[in-house]
Chains A and B, each alone.
Chain A
Amino acid sequence: MNYFLLKQTEFLSKFRLVSFYFAAVFVLLSLFGLFYNGLNLGLDFTGGYLTEFSTQQSLTQNKMEALLTSFLPDTFQLSSAENGTRWSVQQIDNDISMKGKTWLTDFSERSGLTIMPQDAIYIGSQVGEELINQGGLALLTSVIVILFYLSLRFEWRLATGSVIALCHDVIIVLGIFAWFDVSFDLTILASLLAIIGYSLNDSIIVGDKIREIMRRNNESNIDSIINLAIKSTIVRTLITSGTTLATILAIWIFAGESLAGFSIALFSGILVGTFSSIAISATVPQLLGLTADYYLKKEEDVCQLP
């Protein structure tokens, strides 16, 4: 029995180390994808051509969307007004033949709708340059502030582990969007931020457990402390991630095309986040040389004071 337990622990350590290197490979792959393929930035970021037209018949938005999807090669954003008779279609500015009013006549013939073109104009991005810069700055600031807070509350190696896990999650999700060429818009950006919150949450809970065991136990091996922490939080991790993933899966399956990108981001992010809380945020402190008696030593230091 004792032997079995020992072996199991060894397995978990091996699993952690192996997956840590796997994670590193995935991060490299994602970074490669990001530099090689680039993100397929959505209309929110790039701007594009806006074509406005009105139809004599009143159509539902879904119907028009279906008609346009079969006609237009690229992704587009559709909005309607005045009871489904006035339409605005926003397209990315890369397909010159489809630009402006020219495609409308074709579309009118093919769909059999009576279409009156209204306006075709170039439209700027929703997110200005200064906002992108600000956003990057915000991300950097929050990482630094979180690192600082966690270093105060925990220990710098545990904090670094959480922050590295967080970067890992964000990079991998971005990598997925780059490799699979899924359109990246403002909604996806917001889900990315949600992932940051989630990833941190996971890492902190494991880190907290490690600290607790280090304080309480007379266990001298950091490896087994980390394994113990992971084992005692695994049920919680699985339940939380599982229920959240179920909710997102339901959105992915039932909510239709318009929420697909959003669900993909959240789903992969939470999956990766759960994985990284075990493989990275718990393993990095060990690799950085966290020792089992860190907290004990600290308390001794305090005791030595007169």
Chain B
Amino acid sequence: MMNSRTTKHARRAKWQNIVITFILLFMLISALPNLYSDKVSIHLANNNAQNEQVSPQDINNLLANHNLTVDEIKSSTDDTTITLKNKTDQHSIESLLIKEFGDNYSIESSIENDAPIWLKSLEGKPIKLGLDLSGGVLFVLDVDTERALSDRLKSIVLEVKSLAIEKRIRLSKVKLQDNYSIVISYASPKQSAYQDFLTKIKKNYPELTQNKLDENQITLAYSAQEQVKFRQETMKQTIKTMRGRIEELGITEAVTQKQGKNRIRIELPGVHNPEEAKRIIGATASLDFYQLAEHSKAVGILQMTDENGRKLRMNSKEVFSGSSIKNARSGQDEMGMPLVNLTLDSVGGKKMSAFSKKNIGKPMVTVFSEFYRNTKDEMVKKSKVINVATIQQHLGSQFSITNMSSLQAAQELALLLRAGSLTAPVTIVQQRSIEATLGADNIDNGIKALTIGISFTLLFMAFWYRTLGVIANVALALNLVSLLGLMSLLPGAVLTLPGIAGLVLTVGMAVDTNVLIFERIKEELKRGRHALSAIENGYKSAFSTILDANITTMITGIILYSVGYGAVKGFAIILCLGILTSMFTGVFVSKALTNLSIRENKSQLLGVKL
């Protein structure tokens, strides 16, 4: 009986060891790419066989004249490859080469990791470093708040028109007077209903100042103060949307700041290919849903042509707009055609529900709009009908848009809709790469300091706990490797200075886990237990303490992650991952190691003869 229990136990331990080894190997391989660095290389290919090949000396001299250094310049018969020392030099070197050799050579650049091929084939990636440690790309966006204001007024004009119909008031004219005000002209003066009508407008748009011009005319205007307020609100909204978009791109450690009156400064860490980021950040896509106009008498008609050239006449007041979209996911229908699944918020859901109930069997038009700058550098809104669908049934807050051109288009639209649409058009006015804010020397010093600190910890543990201390050190090293591995695996994890704070805390926690266990074991030994059972008991009873301590820290970490932004979020990621790895290595790995080393060397443990 006793015998079968021990074999069962041994078998379980064996299985555990295999699983542990497997996990550790996986983490080690994930962490490996961090040993190798990304290199940017620029290729100069000869366009014409008659051209003389540029000699490496020429390039080197040219670069040296501009204070640029490179790792190596390799030349073959028809191709010269320059491997850069510093990623951030890429732009300046490229433009320099294009200026000098651009006529006769084609110049291309590529980023390659100098890891061995077998590692690359596993598609492992190194940890992304934050702005403070490795720099990134800077975008400055211009927000057209003027345009947003006039768009807002345009939609108010439509609202006023439909309100007038509702109140049975005949208006001869409602139009924009200038960018800040609307003029309303009554068809006939002196009607008792006017007052009611104006009160209603006042109630709906408290920000507008009403000003009576004469008997027949009244203006609705944004006062200077309200204009400023509107612009500030628009900027706030746009910054919020930008943060959402950047997060959707999977970049957690970006910096988004308001710059001047109507610009936004965005710094993205570790972005090699700014084009994608640029497309998402600068995009102004929005979706609006319209009803087809049934008769020409309706208020405001919007005319558009769809891709087949069919003319569509729509009610210019949209059923609901993109801002009501709560969630959007791309997917495929049964036929494998790409589509976007939408979830509306409660306001949008109610509108959709009421609208679709009344209009079953009637068509609804989905319009996709985007702002872009035309050749005259003016902002132009380009709208496109992407879908005319017949409402088949009473729809709720969930439905989908079909007829997407490709899966990628569906994904991109979903991303943009998720991150929120912009109320004001934006354009990117500046883009350049930036260097690490901490500076290379500071980073080197920081790493040196961290190494000194951790070495001291390792030495102390080995001195204080002898054999068990060495085991703890191995566990600690494996903890760091696992943490690096996990961080490399997660696309959103970025290492920054605050992240290093998390790392220090993690090392502390990992040491703590081991110290707790070892103190327990010592206690058990003092009570006169046998070595093996002391170890078994030590691990078992320390585990509940460790669990409590780590769960509470994990709670903090998760809450920080869910509400934090930027640096705080990065810190929270490291903290949570660190707790996982230090629990794993501190409890399971070091126990397995202890069991192994006891089998090897039964007499010496904790510096005490047993």
Binding site for B on A (CB under 8 A): 44, 47, 50, 58, 60-62, 65, 77-86, 88, 121-128, 130-131, 134-135, 137-138, 141-142, 145-146, 149-150, 153, 186-187, 189-191, 193-194, 196-198, 200-201, 204-205, 208-209, 232-233, 235-236, 239-240, 242-244, 246-256, 258-259, 262, 266, 270
Contacts and interface: CB of A to CB of B under 8 A. Distances in A.
Nearest to A86: B432
A189 B575 contact: no
Given A80-B434, A126-B256, A205-B516, 5 more contacts: A121-B263, A197-B575, A236-B512, A247-B450, A259-B442
B556 A196 contact: yes
A62 B435 CA distance: 13
A130 B243 CA distance: 12
Interface size, B (range)? 35 or more
Interface in B496-532: 497-498, 501-502, 504-505, 507-509, 511-512, 515-516, 519, 523
A258 B442 contact: yes
B260 A123 contact: yes
10 contacts: A61-B435, A78-B437, A82-B92, A126-B255, A141-B563, A193-B568, A196-B556, A197-B557, A232-B519, A255-B442
B505 A197 contact: yes
B428 to A, nearest CB: 16
Nearest to A61: B439
A83 B88 contact: yes
| Chain A binding surface SS class | helix
| Chain B binding surface SS class | helix
Contact of B439 (A65, A208, A233, A239): A65
B515 A240 contact: yes
Given A79-B434, A248-B453, A208 B548 contact: yes
A200 B563 contact: no
Q: Point out which of A124, A232, A253 has the most chain B C-beta atoms below 10 A from its C-beta.
A: A124
Given A197-B553, A201-B553, A255-B445, A79 B257 contact: no
Contacts of A256: 441-442, 445-446
Given A138-B563, A146-B555, A82 B91 contact: yes
Contacts of B545: 204-205, 208-209
Nearest to A240: B512
Interface in B544-567: 544-545, 548-549, 551-553, 555-557, 559-560, 562-567
Contacts of A77: 437
A129 to B, nearest CB: 9
Given A194-B504, A259-B446, A266-B501, A83 B440 contact: no
Contacts of A82: 88, 91-92, 432-433
A62 B575 contact: no
B260 A122 contact: yes
B567 A190 contact: yes
B437 to A, nearest CB: 5
A141 B558 CA distance: 11
A58 B67 contact: yes
A82 B439 CA distance: 13
B350 interface: no
Contacts of B86: 83
A214 B545 CA distance: 15
A251 B453 contact: yes
